[in-house]
Amino acid sequence: MKKPLILVTNDDGITAPGLRSLIGYMKEIGDVVVVAPDSPQSGKGHAITIDNTLFSAKLVVDKEKGAPLEYSCSGTPADCVKLALQELLDRKPDICVSGINHGSNSSINVIYSGTMSAAIEAGIEGIPAIGFSLCDYNWDADFSAAEKFIKSIVKKALKNGIPKGVVLNVNIPQAKKDDIKGIKICRQAKANWKEKFDKRTSPAGRDYYWLTGEFLLLDKGEDTDEWALANNYISVVPTQFDLTAHHAIQGLNEWGLN
C-alpha cells in the first residue's frame, strides 16, 4: 500500500521553525510534499494573488536521503495550496496540514489567519485539512511538547476522515510537555480585537500608522478554545467554510424583500 501523501504548508514562510518541525513529524506518517511561501505571510487571511505573477522554485532544504520534495511560492498561503493542487503535485494529497504557526489562531484570530486559510483552501477542494498553531510568537519557540498530539490527530484524521466541509483548527498552549493535559474538542470563543493605531510621521512629513490592539475575550464558557488553552489543553475546533447564517434565513424572508 502507498503511504499517504501529505501536503505541508504554512504562512510564516518556508524557513520557519514551526514548518520544519511539522515536516519532521509528518515524515514519520507518510510521503511529504512541501509548498510554502518564500517569505512570511502572516495575517493575509484567504487572500489570493490576482494582480501579479506567481513564481515557484524547487528547493533543497533538507539534504538527508529521502528528504521531502519542497517548493517555495511567491504568493499567499492560499496561493500555495492552489498551485500545489493544480500544478506541482502528481496526485491528490490524502491530507493537508498547515503550520505549525508561530502564535495563536484561536477564537476570532481564525478570520485573519493565513495558516488556517491554507487549510481551508484544501478543504474547499475536498481534501481533509488541519491547521496547527502554537500560542508562542517567538521564532525559537519549542514545538516539541505537542509532537505526539499532532501525530495522533493527523493519524486519526487519516483513519477516520474529517466531515465534509469541515477543517480542523488546532491550537496548542504554550506549555511544557508534561503540563499539557490532553485534547479538548471545542467551539470558537466569542472575542474581538480592540484596534489601536500608533500614528507617526516620516522624515518626509508623511503620516503613517502601526496597527496594534488588545484582544478582548467576551466569552466565559468552559467549552471554548480559549478556556481549553488557558487550562493547558490543546483545542480542536471543527471549522466550516460555508459562511451562511442559516438561522437568519427565515427572519430575512419575513422582511418582504421581493
Distance, in Å, from the CA atom of 18 to the CA atom of 183, rounded to the nearest integer, reads 20
- The confidence score (pLDDT) of residue 26 equals 97
Residue list for the binding site for a divalent metal cation: 11-12, 42, 101
Residue list for the binding site: 11-12, 42, 101
Up-side HSE of residue 63: CA atoms within 13 Å toward CB? 0
Up-side HSE of residue 178: CA atoms within 13 Å toward CB? 0
Residue 62 predicted with pLDDT over 90 = no
Residue-by-residue DSSP string for 141-166: ---GGGHHHHHHHHHHHHHH---TTE
- Cβ atoms within 10 Å of 64's Cβ, excluding its own: 7
Provide the residue ranges of all domains of the chain, joining segments of one domain with +: 5-188+220-253
What mean pLDDT, rounded, does the chain reach?
A: 95
Question: 169-210: per-residue pLDDT in tens?
Answer: 999 999 999 999 999 999 999 999 999 999 999 999 999 999
Residue 67 predicted with pLDDT over 90 = no
Residue 38 predicted with pLDDT over 90 = yes
Residue 134 predicted with pLDDT over 70 = yes
Q: Does domain 5-188+220-253 have CATH number 3.40.1210.10?
A: yes
- The confidence score (pLDDT) of residue 65 equals 67
